[in-house]
Amino acid sequence: MRHKSNEMSEALPAASARPATNTAFNAPMNHDLNPADYRKALSCFATGVTVITSRWEDADWGMTCNSFASVSLDPRLVLWSIRKAANSLEAFTKSSGFTVSVLAQHQESVARQFATGDMAARFVGVPTQRQASQRLRLTEAAAWFDCQIHQVVDAGDHYIVIGQVMAFDHLESATALTFWRSRFGRCEDMTG
């Protein structure tokens, strides 16, 4: 995986094996560590980048999200999380559903556009298509999933939003946009 420099957010040892000499991972857990350090540690896990959209009270809502993941194949369930303090919380948790657009590598500017600012301005200049559900999907995305809300789970300072996939599609040739160590990047070809 190669990443650009632009800024953005098991084997078990044998019983006779000697203890690890790297004590950094053996140190006692300290729950008072700096939140910035915690975020840095989490940023070591590379993710894809999505835009989540919803239709709520006759308005379109959208936000950049990198917590998207698959939950189940049967039924088809996916999840993502939203901060409890988010201004758009009701739009995403009380509407009938949401649409996930998995961003393609060339959509870094779209990721930035949907990360901040006025909700109406987030959609300006972005090619979209309205689904039968009335939610918008980004037409240049690498993949998309139109979902009905299945469950909303209370989890710390976030809610986990689980959706049942009702429709989906993908572009075979698209390269996905990634996020790693607070930088955007792209996945290299892994077929050969």
Q: Which residue has the higher pLDDT, 35 or 2?
A: 35
Higher pLDDT, 20 or 180: 180
Q: Are 85 and 136 in contact (CB under 8 A)?
A: no
If you classify domain 33-185 with CATH, what class do you get? mainly beta
Could you tell me which residue, 44 or 144, shows the higher pLDDT?
Answer: 144
Q: Provide the mean pLDDT of the chain.
A: 83
pLDDT of residue 191: 42
Query: How does residue 41 score in pLDDT terms, banded at 50, 70 and 90?
Result: confident
**48 closest CA partner among 80, 7, 71:** 80
Give the C-alpha separation, 147 to 97, whole Å. Answer: 5
Residues 113-164 pLDDT 10s: 999 999 999 999 999 999 999 999 999 999 999 999 999 999 999 999 999 9
